[in-house]
Amino acid sequence: MTIAGIVCVAVVGPVYGWARAAPIGAICLAAATYSYFVARQNSAMGGLARGKLDEREQLLRWQAWSFSAHLTFAASAVGALVAAMLS
C-alpha cells in the first residue's frame, strides 16, 4: 500500500502538481498505518489483514470463491446463448 502511494505521488506530482499529489500520499500513508495496526490485533480482522485465517474464515472464503465462479460461468453461458441467438 505504501509503495502504491509512492507510485501514485510520483505519477500525479509531475503531471498535475505537487499540491494535488500531497493528499494522495497522506491517504495512502494513513491507510498503510491503519492496516499495520489492525494486523497486529489478535482478532478475525487482524487475521484477515495478516492473511492467516482460521478454518471457519477459510471455509467462508472458499464458499464465496465457489459462488462467484458459478455466477461467472452462468453469466458467460447466458451471454453465449444470447450472442448465438442474435447472430
Domain spans of the chain?
1-52, 54-87
User: Cβ(2)–Cβ(18) under 8 Å?
Assistant: no
The confidence score (pLDDT) of residue 48 equals 67
User: Cβ(1)–Cβ(32) under 8 Å?
Assistant: yes
Q: N- to C-terminal Cα distance for the chain?
A: 46
The confidence score (pLDDT) of residue 49 equals 65
The confidence score (pLDDT) of residue 44 equals 67
Q: What is the pTM of this model?
A: 0.49
Cα–Cα distance list, 18 to 5, 6, 24, 26, 81 (Å): 14, 13, 10, 12, 51
**pLDDT tens track for 29-72:** 898 888 788 777 776 667 666 677 677 777 887 898 999 999 99
Helices (H), 17-54: 18-39, 44-50
